[in-house]
């Protein structure tokens, strides 16, 4: 049998992620394959860097936690195809989470309406959810 957690435990774990990462974290959207793990060096070109709001996630409920506030980079750093993201502390030095980027409907951990980014364009994340399954 696989491990099963109550919604209360899943919610507590998700809320602890936001606490551990801290306020005003930085989200990088990068090209290329993601690093092997969060401790590994960055890979690919930095396409966009978003400083997230102080309270960047809503309270967890039913084992999921959605973004809060506006997640936006007013001017993308480079031109390229978004392929992965990394979530850092507020100094952008410690990576706490990473995942894939795909176009909407592509099944990535983060989806964009268009994964082709152009330097100088505005990049806005409209939805982002962390979830822990197995109730």
Residue 92 lies in a domain: yes
C-alpha 120/C-alpha 111 separation (Å) is 20
Number of domains in the chain: 1
Stretch 81-106: mean pLDDT: 95
Residue ranges making up the domain that contains 41: 7-131
2 in any annotated domain: no
- pLDDT at residue 135 tops 70: no
Q: Model-level pTM? A: 0.92
Task: Determine, yes or no, domain membership for 118.
Answer: yes
Which are the contacts of 57, defined by CB distance < 8 A and separation ≥ 6?
A: 14, 17, 18, 65, 66, 67, 68, 130
| Segment 99-121, tens digit of pLDDT | 999 998 888 889 898 999 999 99
**Mind listing the pLDDT tens digit for each residue in 30-60?**
999 999 999 999 999 999 999 999 999 999 9
């Amino acid at each position: 049998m696989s491990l099963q957690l109550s919604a209360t435990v899943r919610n507590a774990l998700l809320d602890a992620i936001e606490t551990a990462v801290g306020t005003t974290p930085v989200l990088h959207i990068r090209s290329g394959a993601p690093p092997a793990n969060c401790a590994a060096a960055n890979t690919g070109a930095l396409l966009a860097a978003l400083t997230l709001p102080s309270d960047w996630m809503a309270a967890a409920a039913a084992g999921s936690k959605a973004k809060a506030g506006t997640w936006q980079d007013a001017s993308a750093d480079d031109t390229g195809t978004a392929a992965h993201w990394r979530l850092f502390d507020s100094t952008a030095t410690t990576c706490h989470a990473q995942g894939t980027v795909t176009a909407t409907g592509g099944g990535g951990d983060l989806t964009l309406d268009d994964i082709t980014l152009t330097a100088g364009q505005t990049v806005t994340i409209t939805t982002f959810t962390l979830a822990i399954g197995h109730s």
